[in-house]
A and B are shown apart, each in its own frame.
Chain A
Amino acid sequence: MDVFGNLIAGFATALSVNNLLYCFIGVLLGTVVGVLPGLGGVTTMVLLLPLTYSMDSATAIIMLAGVYYGSMYGGSTTAILMNMPGESPAMVTTFDGYKLAKKGRAGAALAIAAYGSFFAGTVGVIGIMLFSPVLAKAALSFGPPEFFSIAVLGFILLSNLTGKSFLRSMLMVLAGVMLGTIGIDPIEGYQRFIFGQVELSRGIEMSVITIAVFGLAEILSNSAERHSKADIMKVSVKEMYPNKTELKRSILPMIRGSLIGFFIGLIPGPAAIMSTLASYAVEKKVSKHPEEFGTGAIEGVAGPESANNAASSGAFVPLLALGLPFAPAAAILLSGLTIQGITPGPLFISQHQGLFWALIASMYIGNVMLLILNLPLVPVFASLVKIPARILLPIVTVVAFCGAYSMNNSIFDLYLLIIFAVIGVVMKLAGYDPAPLIVGLVLGPEMEGALRRGLVMSKGDFLSFFTRPISGTILALAILYLAYSVFSSLRGKRRNKEE
């Protein structure tokens, strides 16, 4: 059967009442947990796993996959409304999404995020359908040197992301890497920097730090402001949705974001957050008004939100074609498949053709459902910003604490939350950006593991990181980008002095 015939057969399976219902439940649950900071899609998928024992294999996977991309979408809602990323990739959405919400364009940002997610989901599904077998092979040729170069590229891309000074961003990246080394060493299992605290051996929970430096720190600085009744924004329902200019400005970022996201999604590691960072950097570079980025540019929401969703689709490719889970969520899907007695791998597509195409079709249906579910909710969510701060702040604070606690049910994490919220406020006052800290914390352990494995592999020859074609190309890109950033910042300074 050809691709088209297969797809139609897939739709026939996915459109059964039962599968549609579970797809809806999955997407809805995913959106809800995505909105709550801390509670991630992965946790929910784990909790739902036992329920799938009694289900038909297609139904089980369709529901689990629904939770996965539903949570990716939901994560952006709190990022836009409260500066609190539900999941770490949504961090990038806070840069401009929250600023848009402060300007009264929350509805526009939410709607663009929904359109972007839908568009990217569609691109992702087409991508999986067409490139699954071919692209998965390319991802297989990734070894430690490639992962190391990707982490380095991530560090450097970020240094220029929010427009603050390069030195300061790099210092925050280093601080993040230092935080990431606390706990058990990834290679030898050696305990580092725990100073006798058992809780520290688990390592620092990245989501707790994200909630602290973005969400709780924002709450603290907001609490100091005087809030008068005049601050409450009056927004009519018509203004809740994006206007023509905003839509027009979002189309290209959505397309670029989807492509960037899909291809990064094929790569193992923290693909979702890498893809949002990369998309943001690209949008800022190609934009005609880069100065608007960080103050509420709609492109800064459209690109990363699309990239995020496309990356989560991309991650399905290595899972389905090779049986390799490159992301935590993919690993849970793998267990879901294993429960059903199915082993994903090179033979999966040929042996379980029906299931493969039903999953693809259901992902597409899930995307449509997400759009139908979320667009009418945009005004509801957007009107949350109309609630006065003195009422909203106590509630949001409780959300932050519950979210942080639910991660590991740990009181220790709550103390970390408070400490890092205070640090977050001081950082903001001192002119430092919290995003590089998170990137260092996420990519640091990846970079360390890859570098050490790579050095063992090459018997201490660091040059081999440059001579391998893929890793060499990525490192060359990173160095070029670094040189360009340093050069343009020096030129900018000189120009400032001349003026």
Chain B
Amino acid sequence: MASRKIPINIIFVICVFVVSAFYTFNAFSLSFGSFKSPGPGFIPRITGILAMLFSAAILIIDARKLAAGEEGDGAEDSFAFPLRPILFVVSFILYVLIFETLGYVVSTVIFAFILSMIMRNKWWVSAIISISTGIAFFAIFSLLAVPLPLGILG
């Protein structure tokens, strides 16, 4: 089945290679210094080049295995985009967007409610979970003197 679709391990290692190349390119704008007095670009250049080499090596090995019809090391042989994790990530982003404006308690209650609904809990179960979670954590963090944004409740 891996023959038609490009497996995720290959996509991942290509991404790592591209990021490493970008990193290395930027590392060359930092001063390397000398061996007697290494500069801020010393370690980044070495690390970036090594990361490019390692990701290229893994890419070649994995691509060969793919061509030979073997599966990659420990990689999942199939991957689909399931709906729930995507909904989770979308609600994560929403939460961060409303976190400071609405304040900790309100945004957290809304966030926990949405997550709970995504997990297919009944609306009143979600209401109990979200309200108690929001208030409980606010209490704990206040006791520990962690400043949380109050937002509209402030």
Rounded to whole angstroms, the CA-CA distance of A175 and B141 in the bound complex is: 33
Check: B123 CB closer than 8 A to any chain A CB.
no
Check: A295 CB closer than 8 A to any chain B CB.
no
Rounded to whole angstroms, the CA-CA distance of A290 and B111 in the bound complex is: 42
**Distance (whole angstroms) from the CB of A25 to the closest CB of chain B:** 13
Check: A135 CB closer than 8 A to any chain B CB.
no
Rounded to whole angstroms, the CA-CA distance of A224 and B134 in the bound complex is: 24
Partner of A174, one of B9, B38, B50: B50
Contact A430 B36 (CB under 8 A): no
365-423 of chain A: CB within 8 A of chain B: 389-391, 393-395, 397-399, 401-402, 405-406, 409, 411, 414-415, 417-418, 421-422
Interface residues on A, range: 35 or more
**Which residues of chain A have C-beta atoms less than 8 A from B150's C-beta?**
none
**Distance (whole angstroms) from the CB of B108 to the closest CB of chain A:** 6
Known: A171-B16, A219-B88, A422-B89. A192 touches B54 (CB 8 A): no
Rounded to whole angstroms, the CA-CA distance of A418 and B85 in the bound complex is: 12
For the complex, would chain B's binding face be called helix, strand, loop or mixed by DSSP majority?
Answer: helix
**Which residues of chain A have C-beta atoms less than 8 A from B147's C-beta?**
409
Contact B38 A452 (CB under 8 A): yes
**Which residues of chain A have C-beta atoms less than 8 A from B38's C-beta?**
451-452, 455-456
**Which residues of chain B have C-beta atoms less than 8 A from A399's C-beta?**
137
Contact A456 B116 (CB under 8 A): no
92-108 of chain B: CB within 8 A of chain A: 92-93, 95-96, 99-100, 108
Contact A193 B35 (CB under 8 A): no
Partner of A192, one of B40, B99, B115: B40
Partner of B119, one of A223, A415, A431, A448: A223
B119 closest partner in A (C-beta): A390
**Which residues of chain B have C-beta atoms less than 8 A from A452's C-beta?**
38, 42-43
Partner of B116, one of A394, A418, A422: A394
Rounded to whole angstroms, the CA-CA distance of A409 and B147 in the bound complex is: 7
Contact A431 B72 (CB under 8 A): yes
**Distance (whole angstroms) from the CB of B57 to the closest CB of chain A:** 6
Check: A139 CB closer than 8 A to any chain B CB.
no
Rounded to whole angstroms, the CA-CA distance of A175 and B19 in the bound complex is: 9
Contact B72 A193 (CB under 8 A): no
Contact A171 B73 (CB under 8 A): no
Partner of B85, one of A170, A177, A425: A425
Partner of B112, one of A44, A395, A406, A430: A395
B88 closest partner in A (C-beta): A223
**Distance (whole angstroms) from the CB of A272 to the closest CB of chain B:** 22
**Which residues of chain B have C-beta atoms less than 8 A from A422's C-beta?**
89
Per-residue CB contact flags for chain A residues 145-175 toward chain B (1 = under 8 Å, else 0) read 0000000000000000000110110110011
Contact B47 A177 (CB under 8 A): yes
Per-residue CB contact flags for chain B residues 36-60 toward chain A (1 = under 8 Å, else 0) read 1111101110011011001101100
A449 closest partner in B (C-beta): B43
Per-residue CB contact flags for chain A residues 419-441 toward chain B (1 = under 8 Å, else 0) read 00110011101111000000000
**Distance (whole angstroms) from the CB of A225 to the closest CB of chain B:** 9
Rounded to whole angstroms, the CA-CA distance of A168 and B108 in the bound complex is: 37
Known: A171-B16, A175-B16, A418-B89. A431 touches B9 (CB 8 A): yes
Check: B13 CB closer than 8 A to any chain A CB.
yes
Check: B145 CB closer than 8 A to any chain A CB.
yes
Contact A167 B54 (CB under 8 A): yes
Check: A286 CB closer than 8 A to any chain B CB.
no
Known: A223-B84, A432-B12. A170 touches B43 (CB 8 A): no
B138 closest partner in A (C-beta): A402
Partner of B129, one of A44, A190, A391: A391
Rounded to whole angstroms, the CA-CA distance of A47 and B92 in the bound complex is: 29
**Which residues of chain A have C-beta atoms less than 8 A from B82's C-beta?**
224
Contact B125 A391 (CB under 8 A): yes
Contact B146 A39 (CB under 8 A): yes
B120 closest partner in A (C-beta): A390
Contact A455 B36 (CB under 8 A): yes
**Distance (whole angstroms) from the CB of A382 to the closest CB of chain B:** 20
Rounded to whole angstroms, the CA-CA distance of A394 and B12 in the bound complex is: 28
Contact A188 B47 (CB under 8 A): no
**Distance (whole angstroms) from the CB of A35 to the closest CB of chain B:** 10
Check: B1 CB closer than 8 A to any chain A CB.
no
Partner of B47, one of A178, A398, A406: A178
Check: B2 CB closer than 8 A to any chain A CB.
no
Rounded to whole angstroms, the CA-CA distance of A499 and B4 in the bound complex is: 29
Check: B68 CB closer than 8 A to any chain A CB.
no
Instruction: Please give me the 8 A-B residue pairs with the lowest Cβ-Cβ distance, nearest first.
Output: A431-B74, A460-B35, A460-B36, A431-B75, A390-B119, A394-B115, A430-B12, A224-B82
Instruction: Taking A390-B119, A431-B76, A455-B36 as given, write out 11 further A-B residue pairs in contact, using a Cβ cutoff of 8 Å, ordered by the A residue number.
Output: A39-B144, A47-B145, A175-B51, A177-B47, A178-B51, A188-B39, A397-B92, A430-B76, A456-B38, A460-B36, A460-B37
11 A-B pairs with CB atoms under 8 Å apart are A167-B57, A171-B51, A193-B23, A223-B85, A390-B121, A414-B95, A421-B89, A431-B75, A432-B12, A451-B43, A459-B36
Name B residues whose Cβ lies closer than 8 Å to a Cβ of A.
8-9, 11-13, 16, 20, 23, 26, 30, 34-40, 42-44, 47-48, 50-51, 54-55, 57-58, 61, 72-76, 79, 82, 84-85, 88-89, 92-93, 95-96, 99-100, 108, 111-112, 115-116, 118-121, 125-126, 129-130, 133-134, 137, 140-141, 144-148
